[in-house]
Amino acid sequence: MQAIVLVGGEGTRLRPLTYGTPKPMVPIMNVPFLARTMERLYEAGIRDVILPAGYMPQAIVDYFGDGSRLDMNITYVIEETPLGTAGALKNVEQHITGRFFVLNGDVLTSLDLRAMLRYHDEKGGVGALHLIRVDDPSSFGCVVHDGGGRVSAFVEKPPKGEEPTNEINAGTYLLEREILNFIPAGRNVSIERETFPKVIAAGKDLYAYTTADYWIDLGRPENYLAAHRDVLSGAMPLTVEPGISGNGGEALKGHPGVVPPVHADEDVVVDASAKVGPNVVLGRGCSIGANAVVRESVLWERVSVGSGATIEEAILASGATIGPKAQIGRGSVIGHDVSVDPGQVLEPGSRLGPPVRA
Ligand code: GTP
């Protein structure tokens, strides 16, 4: 059994984080997200993974290499220009030997891949699509199916009030090799908008696999923060201890200003008068100065927060430096190695990136 993890997107909605780190390598609880995905695949018995990449692929190759460190075999196929979610599959056709999983590279979910495989075995057809139910389907791709699970229609981002269903495409597919016959080669093709509708129009069967699993798309800053909150609270099952956790967590236990849940990596220094938490993740080597306040935020590696600075509901990429008494408004995203001046006040929702390379 093979898996293809789509990792070629530019991740524009996560900018400026994705100027320095491709979206699949963005850390979740201080570990690159793709490493979590690889673990899930391994647990499901999958050893053979194909990564169609294109945007900053070297960061991915440098981390995983040929996969042998994980007892896996990784094949990279680099796209010169983005081929889209189906074009990327067609482009790796020569490496696909049979049925295969396809995973969007930015979905955090508790979906059981083995159970999905059993479902596909029962149902047959060209493939099974993982669906979840959401309260507001208007910004997603809705998937309509009959009582037996056979998919009859795809409706992309329906206007509010006109949604045909609250079941949406959750970005994990189990497909037979036959699907490749429905994808033209050499151009950008979307699996959601073009390929799946074409398959059902041809009278072939696709089946809906609807589950009540935890599911979130990490591709937007607010979702990225929500995912961390959900892992810290236990709503999304990742093996994280409750309270104060992580390799650097022990050093923070007993600190009067640390309000759990807080997760910290090694070499984190928090001044005795600083306040950290709840719902804060600190990467390796972060330092939090005197009287600084950090709440509901994710700080990557080596972020330095000056004395008296305040940070709320923000994401700070590696190497960011926040000057003393600076204020980082809610929803702000700070890019790699960016410095915020002492006393500077960033409006809520600010995005401060490094200079864009031409
Ligand atoms: P945004 O620019 O913020 O929309 O992010 P994105 O470019 O990653 O797009 P999106 O979130 O829709 O992509 C879903 C998944 O497909 C992600 O895992 C992407 O990495 C991947 N993906 C999107 N487009 C391509 C592509 O052209 N080629 C490959 N190989 N992967 C892609």
- State in Å: Cα 104 to ligand 1 middle: 8
- State in Å: Cα 260 to ligand 1 middle: 34
Residue 83 alpha carbon, nearest atom of ligand 1: 27
Q: Ligand 1: which of 76, 85, 190 to mutate, judged by most atoms within 8 Å of the beta carbon?
A: 85
How confident is the model over 203-227, as a mean pLDDT? 97
pLDDT for the residue numbered 241: 84
How confident is the model over 328-349, as a mean pLDDT? 96
Tokens of 11: 């991740």
- State in Å: Cα 12 to ligand 1 middle: 9
Share above pLDDT 90 across residues of the chain, in percent, rounded to a whole number: 94
What is the tens place of the pLDDT at every residue in 85-118? 999 999 999 999 999 999 999 999 999 999 999 9
- State in Å: Cα 54 to ligand 1 middle: 10
How confident is the model over 32-49, as a mean pLDDT? 96
Q: Ligand 1: which of 19, 23, 102, 192 to mutate, judged by most atoms within 8 Å of the beta carbon?
A: 23
pLDDT for residue 132 is more than 80: yes
What is the tens place of the pLDDT at every residue in 145-203? 999 999 999 998 889 888 899 999 999 999 999 999 999 999 999 999 999 999 999 99
How confident is the model over 326-351, as a mean pLDDT? 96
pLDDT for the residue numbered 242: 85
How confident is the model over 290-308, as a mean pLDDT? 98
Domains parsed from the chain with CATH numbers: 2-221 (3.90.550.10), 241-352 (2.160.10.10)
Query: Which of 46, 28, 106, 89 has its CA nearest to residue 283?
Result: 28
Residues near 328 by beta carbon (within 8 Å), at least 6 away in sequence: 309, 310, 311, 312, 314, 316, 322, 334, 340, 346, 350
- State in Å: Cα 6 to ligand 1 middle: 7
Q: Ligand 1: which of 106, 190, 216, 218 to mutate, judged by most atoms within 8 Å of the beta carbon?
A: 106
Name the pLDDT band for 39 (thresholds 50, 70, 90).
Answer: very high
pLDDT for the residue numbered 356: 56
How confident is the model over 280-308, as a mean pLDDT? 98
pLDDT for residue 358 is more than 50: no
How confident is the model over 251-255, as a mean pLDDT? 93
pLDDT for residue 357 is more than 60: no
pLDDT for residue 325 is more than 90: yes
Q: For the CA atoms of the chain, what is the radius of gyration?
A: 21
The pTM is what?
Answer: 0.95
How confident is the model over 242-268, as a mean pLDDT? 94
pLDDT for the residue numbered 339: 95
The three-class DSSP label of residue 19 is helix
Residue 217 alpha carbon, nearest atom of ligand 1: 11
DSSP per-residue letters across 52-83: EE-SSHHHHHHHHTTSGGGT-EEEEEE-SS--
Name the pLDDT band for 355 (thresholds 50, 70, 90).
Answer: low
- State in Å: Cα 255 to ligand 1 middle: 41
Helix (H) or strand (E) holding 308, with range, is: none
Residue 103 alpha carbon, nearest atom of ligand 1: 18
Q: Please, what is the average pLDDT of the chain? A: 95
239 or 328: which carries more pLDDT confidence? 328
- State in Å: Cα 34 to ligand 1 middle: 14
Name the pLDDT band for 4 (thresholds 50, 70, 90).
Answer: very high
pLDDT for the residue numbered 113: 97
Q: Ligand 1: which of 76, 92, 104 to mutate, judged by most atoms within 8 Å of the beta carbon?
A: 104
What is the C-alpha to C-alpha distance for residues 273 and 289, in angstroms, rounded to an integer? Answer: 8
Evaluate whether 52 touches 8 at the Cβ level (below 8 Å).
yes
How confident is the model over 232-259, as a mean pLDDT? 91
- State in Å: Cα 189 to ligand 1 middle: 12
Pocket of ligand 1 (CB under 6 A): 6-13, 23, 52, 54, 79, 82-85, 88, 104-106, 219
- State in Å: Cα 14 to ligand 1 middle: 12
How confident is the model over 329-354, as a mean pLDDT? 95
* Closest residue by CA, ligand 1 atom 11: 219
Residue 53 alpha carbon, nearest atom of ligand 1: 30
Name the pLDDT band for 238 (thresholds 50, 70, 90).
Answer: confident
* Closest residue by CA, ligand 1 atom 31: 8
- State in Å: Cα 93 to ligand 1 middle: 19
**What is each CA distance from 182 to 3, 19, 52, 102, in whole angstroms?**
19, 34, 18, 16
